[in-house]
Every structure is written in structure tokens, then in C-alpha cells.
Amino acid sequence: MDNDASSLEKLIGFDTISRRYESLYAFVARLIRSNLLSDGEARRFIPKSWVIKIFAPDDEASPDPGPDFRKYVDSRFSALTKLDIEPWAPFPTLTSVSQRCLRGCQTCLELGHHSYAYQGDLIARCPIHDEPLTHRCPHCQTPLWWRHSTISESAFRCPRGCDLLGGLHMGLEATTLNDLAFFFRRHLALIRRIRSTLRFASSPIYVAYPPRLIDLPIEEQGLPSLGLLPAIVDALRPYGPELPTFEKHHGQSHGAWRIKVTPFPLTNDAPASATESLNLLQAFKRGAFRTELPAPSPLAPALLRKLKDYVMLIEGNPVPRISVASYLVTTGEVAALQRLLAKDNDQGQTQMHYELLLHDILGRGLKRQEERQRPESRPRALGVAESVSAVMRLASGLFRVQGYTATDIVRARDSWKDFAESVDYL
């Protein structure tokens, strides 16, 4: 390593490096705080790869911290559980917390403890203190970005400077750590069962709408609300008895998610070629008045009749398209359709999923327009705050998962009243 290993090992608290399942963040942050390290001293004593991994996790060119770290722990897997969220998150795209944020138990953080197991939604409450996990400062509610200022000021502090550490603690006591290790072993077994029994045949596509967007900073607008993955797993359990059941401290709450599961037909059609997929992606065009969307298969006649005042068919090569009044679909919905076609999944299943999702989006847009024109009606479509659609593979077959959350009537209408967005980025 670039740094002096003997100097690193002499720091107060270095002997806590081998604690099972505790995150590298907790260990390094404790070293910084316990030894009163300045930014320059932290960079001098602590390996560069560790610092980048913790405080700049989005840096794709970051050096691998494993070689410098694994010699201090008992196994490669133990190192992985202390270095990254990946072993703990079967489907990271379904988590409600940005991986740029620290998530944990307030009491654990006060004692100088954190685990990457807490970064996903499957654990809802601390198994030791029975407190809800959070990614916001308990004092000012600011999101806990991994690095928000200098390295030394990011160690167990929030972006506004609030101290998360209650004194110079060395983490949890040995007996408490043993209790946690027992829980985490069971949690890893549950994650392995989910991974072995559940697969995406077509990736999950998430869309947020004004009732949710108005509450969130822009960096959190692509994240679903709490409880989506637990809600999906529970909804699929009748079709996959091999799926595990959750324990007390797992995702106890599904939040506001309502999930519908329907069998998804197997397709014998030849999968789309790379050229066909590219043509579909290039068929999107978003404008101020009209939006063009690829329509590889004809729309259902009943839906087409309802949309006759909003949609025009565009015949031609290489891809048939429809032209839709732009106010009927949001930019987020158009981007979601694009993301689906760009995903590297089974192209035959993905194209069928796209067609179903296109019908859903157009149908929802039509209902929103009708509810806007009838203020006395109950705003069901306007009340949708977020939606998700995915095709999951179980041993028993393929299943489409559709989910949404909704808000109250007044909030729904108010959030759409002045809603406006840029449409010229596509």
C-alpha cells in the first residue's frame, strides 16, 4: 500500500478492524475521530483505496481496496461484507435509499457502529435497539451523504455539521456484536435464498409522479419509497413457496406499496436483434406538442378507440410509431420506456414487457386527462405517486409484477395543478 502500514496499525482503535460485518466506513470514521486526524493526516495514514471506497463510492475508476484490506480479516467473503453493499442487496435498484447516503440506527451511530447490511430496505429496524433505520440526520433531517465536505468532517457527521457520534466510542460491546453477527448470518442466508429463487426476466422500471416528486430533492427522485422489495417478495410468495419469510426486523412495513402479480406468457418469438433494438431506441422523439413512441405491435383496439383524439399512427420503416399529445405522457414515463428497451435482458421478454408498459402508460395518461376535465371526480390516476413494473422469473414460471403508491385527493390535484417539465431533452 502507498501508506505506512506500521503507522496505520499504531492508530487508536486499529484492533477493531476485524469485527465481523461492521462496515469499513465505521472503522475508518472511528480512526479519524479517535485519533483526531486532520484531512491531510487521514490521507497519509489511511490507504488511498479505502478513503475513495468510503467517501467517493461513485468513482468508477477507484482502486480496489480489497488487497490492502483482506490481510486484516479472516476471509474474502468477510472482507466483501465489510467493504460493500453488494453482498447485502439482492436487487439494489429496488432500494429506497441512495447508495450515496449512509443509512443506519441512530443509537448504533452514536456508539460508532455501522454495517452495510443496513443500506438496503430488507432490514427495517435495528435488531439490537429496535429503532427504525434512517438515512437522515436525527438532529436536522439532512440526508447523510457519505462525503459532504472534507474527509475528517464526513466521519460520523452530517452535512450541516451535526455530530452523529456520542463521544469517542469504539463501537458496540463484544456481546452485542456477537448478537448482531448471529442476526446477520441469518440475514445473509435469507438474501441467498432470494437470489437463488428470484430473477429478473425484464428489469424493474420505476416512475415517480408529481405527488411524490414535489417532496424530494432531485438526487432522490429516481428512488422508490420504502418497502418495495419486501412487498414484491410477499406478493410473489403464493407462486414461489421456496421464497423465504421475513423475520421480525426485516422489512416489517411495505410502506404504501400495492402490488399485483399476474402470470406472464412465455414468448416463442425470436428475440430482437441488436439492430432492431437500436431502431426502437432511436424511434423516441419528445417535443413540446407531440411525442413519438415506438409501437412494434398494434395497440389494443379498445385502447386505440379511447385514444383517438390524442394518438396518431405513423407507419414506416424501420419501426412503426405512434404520435401522442405530449401532455398525455410525462417525461419520466418516456424515459422509463427508453430505459426498459436499453436494458440488457432477454430481448423477447423485454419487448413484450415494453408493449404492456406502453399500454399502461397511455391508459393512465388518458385517465389523468379525464380526471383533470372533471374536477368533481375522484382522482385515482392523478393520485398515483409512483409506479413500478417488472417481469420476474420463479421456478414455477414468469410473472409480471405491477405496483403503485397513491396519495390523498387534495394533494393529488394540487401537485398536478402547476406541474410543468422540460420536454426537449430527447
On whether residue 422 sits in a domain, the answer given is no
Co-location of 402 and 258 in the same domain = yes
Domain edge (last residue) among 133, 167, 192: 192
Q: Is 171 in the same domain as 256?
A: no
Binning pLDDT at 50, 70 and 90, where does residue 424 land? very low
For residues 140 and 277, state if they share a domain.
no
Q: How far apart are the C-alpha atoms of 161 and 82, rounded to whole Å?
A: 26
- Supply the pLDDT for residue 263: 95
pLDDT value for 353 = 92
Q: Does 206 share its domain with 129?
A: no
Residue 226: predicted pLDDT: 84
Q: What is the pLDDT of residues 361-374, one digit of tens each?
A: 999 999 999 988 88
Of 30-39, 154-163, 167-176, 298-307, least confident by mean pLDDT is: 167-176
Q: In this structure, is residue 425 part of a structural domain?
A: no
Same domain, 223 and 330: yes
- Report the pLDDT value the prediction gives residue 281, as an integer from 0 to 100: 87
Query: How many H-runs (helices) and E-runs (strands) does the chain carry?
Result: 16, 8
Residue 261 pairs in a beta bridge with 401
Give 146-198 as a 3 state SS string: CCCCCHHHHCCECCCCCECCCCCCCCCCHHHHHHHHHHHHHHHHHHHHHHHHC
Q: What pLDDT, in 10s, does the model give residues 230-243?
A: 889 889 999 988 88
Judge if 184 and 211 occupy the same domain.
no
Instruction: Identify the top-confidence range among 92-106, 244-258, 342-356.
Output: 92-106
Tens of pLDDT, residue by residue over 250-305, are 765 667 899 999 999 876 555 566 677 788 888 999 988 999 999 988 888 888 88
pLDDT band of residue 345 (cuts 50, 70, 90) is low
Percent of the chain past pLDDT 70, that is, above it, reads 92
**pLDDT for the residue 97:** 81
pLDDT at 58: 64
- d(C-alpha 414, C-alpha 282), whole Å: 35
Please report whether residue 424 resides in a domain: no
Question: What strands lie across the sheet with 311-314, from one edge to the other?
Answer: 285-286, 290-294, 321-325, 311-314
* Residue 91 in domain: yes
- 358 falls within a domain: yes
The H or E element spanning position 39 is helix 39-45
144-163 pLDDT, tens digit each = 988 777 888 999 999 999 99
pLDDT, one tens digit per residue, over 111-134 is 999 999 998 888 888 999 999 999
Other Cβ atoms less than 10 A from the Cβ of 362: the count is 25
Under the banding of pLDDT at 50, 70 and 90, the label for residue 351 is confident
Predicted pLDDT at 1: 45
Domain for residue 349, yes or no? yes
Position 299 scores a pLDDT of: 85
C-alpha of 356 from chain center: 23
Determine the average pLDDT of the residues in 46-61.
78
Tens digits of residue pLDDT in 366-400: 999 998 888 777 778 999 999 999 999 999 999 99
Report if residue 423 sits inside a domain: no
CB 32 within 8 A of CB 50: no
- Whether residue 161 lies inside any domain: the answer is yes
Q: What is the pLDDT of residue 7?
A: 83
pLDDT over threshold 70, residue 210? yes
Mean residue pLDDT across the chain = 86
- Residue-range definition of the domain harbouring residue 274: 199-417
Residues 16 and 99 in one domain: yes
Q: Which of 137, 163, 192 is the last residue of a domain?
A: 192
Same domain, 255 and 396: yes
Q: Looking at the structure, do residues 135 and 227 belong to the same domain, yes or no?
A: no
How high is the pLDDT of residue 268? 54
My answer on whether 239 and 270 are in the same domain is: yes
Rounded to the nearest 10°, the torsion over CA 169, 174, 179, 181 is 90
Same domain, 217 and 157: no
Q: Model confidence at 83, in pLDDT bands (50, 70, 90)? A: confident
Please check whether residues 142 and 230 belong to one and the same domain.
no
Q: Which of 130, 162, 192 is the last residue of a domain?
A: 192
Q: How far apart are CA 56 and CA 51, in angstroms?
A: 8
Q: Count of domains in the chain? A: 2
CA atoms in the 13 A half-sphere facing the CB of 404: 14
pLDDT of residue 296: 84
